[in-house]
């Protein structure tokens, strides 16, 4: 089964098909309605063939349903029928959860995406749990997302931003009793000294996460942190809450 992955960001739509090395991107932005997204995607992938579609969406998604209109796109996404619009089966997941799924290497993993805001997800016990940690208060005036997001980086500068990242990663790793933390997103490249127990992710892992949504063989990861068993025993499908 061939899977098209659409990773929707505030600046670009990133596109990939399983088995094709080339990835593509087209602009998104505040004029991007669902209808415009469908048009731009179809125009960009005319020469690609695929059977199913995974969509990483920059807003809360619960059981495959978008819960809020995205902050950095045009409105109209709530209740939109992606399957009917594309004419193919579609699975929708929060964009940070999709990147987390692609980054997962076993155990209890917390994913933090440093981008426009703070994306977050936890994977444990064969369950992918999308989170909204960017809403938590950093201090009396600002949230985690406001400090660690793109505007926070520009406002407080790299040195103070890096200190804030280290503080938040360390605190959240302890709060979630995580085996490790993966730091991803477009601004992960600005992290200089990684806090203990953390590693950098890569934006391309979002594509892997989109592929894993449709392939049970790719998500059988046992408890051993950092690796997959070459001979899996009893297996359970990863569930997305």
pLDDT in tens, 189-209: 999 999 999 999 987 899 999
> Cα–Cα distance between 174 and 179 in angstroms, integer?
9
| Positions of the chain with pLDDT lower than 70, given as ranges | 216-238, 241
Q: Please state the length of the chain.
A: 241
pLDDT in tens, 127-174: 899 999 999 999 989 999 999 999 999 999 999 999 999 999 999 999
pLDDT of residue 99: 94
* Interacting residues of 225 by C-beta distance below 8 A, sequence separation 6+: 105, 106, 107, 179, 180
H-helix segments, 45-136: 82-86, 95-103
> Cα–Cα distance between 146 and 152 in angstroms, integer?
6
pLDDT of residue 2: 93
* E strand intervals along 51-188: 52-57, 61-62, 65-66, 90-94, 109-114, 118-124, 127-131, 180-184
> Cα–Cα distance between 112 and 96 in angstroms, integer?
8
The domain ranges of the chain are: 3-94, 98-206
Instruction: Say if residues 167 and 148 touch (Cβ distance below 8 Å).
Output: no
The pTM for the full model equals 0.85
Instruction: Say if residues 195 and 166 touch (Cβ distance below 8 Å).
Output: yes
CATH architecture, domain defined by 98-206: 2-Layer Sandwich (3.30)
pLDDT of residue 237: 64
Which CATH class name applies to 3-94?
A: alpha beta
3-94 and 98-206 have identical folds: yes
Phi, psi of 17 (to 5 degrees): -120, 135
């Amino acid at each position: 089964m061939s899977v098209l992955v659409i990773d929707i960001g505030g600046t670009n739509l990133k596109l990939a098909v399983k088995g094709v090395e080339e990835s593509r991107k087209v602009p998104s932005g505040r004029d991007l309605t669902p209808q415009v997204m469908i048009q731009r995607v179809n125009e960009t992938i005319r020469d690609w063939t695929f059977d199913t579609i995974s969509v990483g969406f920059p807003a809360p998604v619960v059981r495959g349903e978008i819960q809020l209109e995205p902050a950095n796109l045009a409105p109209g996404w709530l209740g939109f029928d992606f399957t009917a619009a594309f004419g193919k089966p579609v699975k929708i997941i929060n964009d940070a959860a999709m990147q987390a799924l692609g980054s997962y290497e076993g155990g209890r993993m917390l994913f933090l995406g440093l981008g426009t805001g703070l994306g977050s997800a936890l994977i444990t016990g064969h369950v992918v749990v999308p989170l909204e940690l960017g809403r938590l208060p950093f201090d009396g005036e600002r949230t985690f997302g406001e400090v660690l997001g793109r505007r926070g980086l520009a406002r407080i500068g790299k040195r103070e931003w890096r200190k804030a990242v280290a503080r938040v990663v360390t605190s959240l790793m302890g709060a979630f009793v995580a085996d490790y933390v993966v730091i991803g997103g477009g601004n992960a490249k600005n992290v200089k000294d990684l806090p203990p127990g953390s590693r950098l992710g890569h934006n391309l892992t979002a594509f892997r996460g989109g592929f894993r949504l449709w392939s049970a063989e790719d998500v059988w990861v046992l408890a051993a942190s950092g690796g997959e068993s070459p001979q899996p025993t009893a297996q359970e499908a990863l569930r997305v809450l």
